[in-house]
């Protein structure tokens, strides 16, 4: 049959082309199926559906492989920097020294945001979750850069929009935290590196001299690399689908931030620490929580466990677990929550419920522990994830536009009432 599959339905045979990716993964192309047979496919949660062809990230969940543009996550996390990885994801190749210098320079010189952003920020109550504030502020960039609303502008203009997004997100993220603390915002410092600048905007005060600890800046840089892209996950698919209506990059990224916020996705890093603290407060009885997670009548899940695609291990979790140990060692922190995490991991990994379902710690299981050690407050954890994921969202949005993807519009199987007559309110 070669590169075709056959579907036998209602006495007819339909040929479905088989598309093969670079890593020999095969897909049935069903794009003409409805026109030919009247059939659609049903796949709740898109568990088995490819929404696009993409050359950005390769992920093999069975073997725990993650590569950006062909480079392994292990090698990038060890040898590269976040902005180098951002360049790689967005422009397809590792930058030369000159390209990287220009990129870094462009980003530092665009890190300031319009002064009016402060008035928008002031309108948010101090209790606002920084993810909500961040999503709104990113969307507000369309007001300051109205030309960005048109995604069909020249390559140079689109690139300007991309640079501004990367340059301004740390400023907006740190300011959303400052709003939470009711502290004055700190302006970016162009002389500092990407992560150093962000840390300074987060933690310094105008009244006190502040020096960024390089251990913290390096750990953050590595975390951002690990989060930079993860192919067609919930937030990235959101960015693509919003962008597919020709909405602007800022609007699409703002929607991506909203999608990332949920505890089943990026919000898991906050939920993990809250869960570990709860276990600690409750006397550290790990078995009790493992039993709760297995109990189908209890909505409790072990946060940071399980992944839609990784069913053996999450390669990012392996890197991050070691990084958590190193950071805690270097900063001389003894975190009892880390001990709970390690015990919980051990118990769950040896439990048949978790083994049978392929539930392993994911990247978020350990990232929260590092963020805590770095002094980042819990409700900023998902903001850190958004900072890391931004280059991936941009690369995916750009690829979607360059490939002229059609508007995203799934179908459904309708299960409601069939046609019926309207009944006036008196007769109901």
Residues 6+ positions from 333 with CB-CB distance below 8 Å: 327, 373
x/- mask, ligand ACO, residues 33-72, rule CB under 6 A, reads ------------x---------------------------
Per CB under 6 A, which of residues 352..371 are in contact with ligand ACO? 357, 359, 362-364
Residue 29 bears catalytic tag: no
Give the residue at shortest CB distance from ligand ACO: 306
Which is nearer to ligand ACO, 273 or 327 (by Cβ)? Answer: 273
CA gap 5, 296 in Å, rounded = 38
Residue 180 to residues 114, 202, 209, 283, Cα–Cα distance (Å)? 20, 11, 22, 31
Query: Cβ 269 to ligand ACO, closest distance in Å?
Result: 8
The footprint of ligand ACO on residues 253-282 (CB under 6 A) is: 264-266, 268
Rounded to 10 deg, the angle between the 381-402 and 82-91 helix axes is: 20
Per-residue contact track with ligand ACO, 291 to 330, x per CB under 6 A? --x-------xxxxxxxx----------------------
Cβ nearer to ligand ACO, comparing 193 with 304: 304
* Owner of token pair 């929580």: 289
Contact 144, 116 (CB under 8 A): yes
Q: Among this protein's residues, is 307 annotated catalytic?
A: yes
Name the catalytic one among 218, 307, 314, 379: 307
User: H or E segment at 5?
Assistant: strand 4-9
Report the nearest approach of ligand ACO to the CB of residue 386 (Å).
Answer: 12
Token code pair at residue 351: 């439990």
Q: How far is the CB of 347 from ligand ACO (least distance, A)?
A: 13
- The whole-angstrom separation of Cα 312 and Cα 302 is 17
Q: How far is the CB of 85 from ligand ACO (least distance, A)?
A: 17
Q: Which is nearer to ligand ACO, 179 or 396 (CB)?
A: 396
Rounded Cα gap, residues 378 and 131, in angstroms:
12
Closest contact distance (angstroms) between CB of 350 and ligand ACO is 15
Q: Three-class SS of residue 15?
A: strand
DSSP string, 332-368: T---HHHHHHHHHHHHHHT-HHHHHTT--B-HHHHHH
Look up tokens 């150093």; give the residue.
Answer: 196
Q: 231 or 399: whose CB is closer to ligand ACO?
A: 231
Token pair for 274: 């809250």
226 or 247: whose CB is closer to ligand ACO?
226
Catalytic (active-site) positions: 307, 364
By the criterion CB under 6 A, which residues form the site for ligand ACO?
45, 264-266, 268, 293, 301-308, 357, 359, 362-364
């Amino acid at each position: 049959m070669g590169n075709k599959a056959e579907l036998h339905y209602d006495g007819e045979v339909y040929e479905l082309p088989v598309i093969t990716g670079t890593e020999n993964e095969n897909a049935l192309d069903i794009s003409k199926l409805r026109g030919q047979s009247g059939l659609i496919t049903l796949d709740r949660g898109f568990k088995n559906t490819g929404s696009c062809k993409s050359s950005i990230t390769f992920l093999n969940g069975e073997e725990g492989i993650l590569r950006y543009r062909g480079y392994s996550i292990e090698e990038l996390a060890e040898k590269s920097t976040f902005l180098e990885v951002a360049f790689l994801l967005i422009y397809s190749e590792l930058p030369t020294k000159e390209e990287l210098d220009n990129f870094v320079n462009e980003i530092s010189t665009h890190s300031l945001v319009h002064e009016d952003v402060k008035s928008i920020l002031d309108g948010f109550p101090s209790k606002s979750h920084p993810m909500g504030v961040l999503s709104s502020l990113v969307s507000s960039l369309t007001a300051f850069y109205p030309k960005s609303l048109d995604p069909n502008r020249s390559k140079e203009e689109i690139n300007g929009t991309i640079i501004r997004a990367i340059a301004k997100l740390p400023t907006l993220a740190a300011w959303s935290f400052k709003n939470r603390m009711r502290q004055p915002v700190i302006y970016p410092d162009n002389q500092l590196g990407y992560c150093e600048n962000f840390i300074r905007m987060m933690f310094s005060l105008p009244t006190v001299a502040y020096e960024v600890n390089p251990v913290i800046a390096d750990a953050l840089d590595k975390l951002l690399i690990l989060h930079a892209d993860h192919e067609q996950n919930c937030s990235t698919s959101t960015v693509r689908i919003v962008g597919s209506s020709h909405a602007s990059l800022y609007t699409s990224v703002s929607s991506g931030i909203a999608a990332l916020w949920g505890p089943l996705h990026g919000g898991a890093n906050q939920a993990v620490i809250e869960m570990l603290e709860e276990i600690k407060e409750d006397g550290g009885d790990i078995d009790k929580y493992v039993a709760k997670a297995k109990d189908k009548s209890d909505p409790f899940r072990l946060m940071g466990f399980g992944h839609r695609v990784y069913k053996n291990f999450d390669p990012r979790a392996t890197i991050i677990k070691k990084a958590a140990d190193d950071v805690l060692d270097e900063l001389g922190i003894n975190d009892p929550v880390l001990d709970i995490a390690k015990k919980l991991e051990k118990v769950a990994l040896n439990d048949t419920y978790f083994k049978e379902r392929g539930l392993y710690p994911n990247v978020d299981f350990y990232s929260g522990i590092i963020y805590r050690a770095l002094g980042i407050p819990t409700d900023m954890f998902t903001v850190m994830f958004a900072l890391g994921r931004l280059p991936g969202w941009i690369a995916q949005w750009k690829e979607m536009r360059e490939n002229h993807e059609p508007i995203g519009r799934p179908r459904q199987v309708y299960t409601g009432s069939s046609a019926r007559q309207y009944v006036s309110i008196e007769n109901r």
